[in-house]
Amino acid sequence: MMPGPVYVFVFAMWLLILLGGALIVTVLGPFSFGGFVGLDPMLNSGIKVAIALTLVSVWILILSAIKNWMFKKQIKS
């Protein structure tokens, strides 16, 4: 058994963690959905939380797809 696919999975995991963190901190953090409407700060934070949770779910689905691809590749060989 080659450890190569495991390293690919770990690399992809760290890449997604760093990309997601950078995206949330640099783009989503300073962004305000209130604009000119005067949106409640709690609602503004709730929208940001919903976006962050959606990103986490997408990252988990991507990592799951990579894991399934690795296992299928190992089973075939």
* pLDDT tens over the chain, length 77 residues: 456 777 878 888 888 889 888 888 888 888 777 776 777 888 888 888 898 899 889 988 988 888 888 888 878 87
C-beta of residue 20 within 8 angstroms of C-beta of residue 54: no
Sign of the CA dihedral running 67, 69, 71, 74: negative
CA distances from 22 to 19, 29, 31, 57, 76 (A): 5, 10, 14, 16, 37
What was the pLDDT predicted at 36? 63
C-beta of residue 34 within 8 angstroms of C-beta of residue 44: yes
DSSP 2: -
What was the pLDDT predicted at 50? 92
Residue 49, SS3? helix
What was the pLDDT predicted at 3? 65
What was the pLDDT predicted at 2? 56
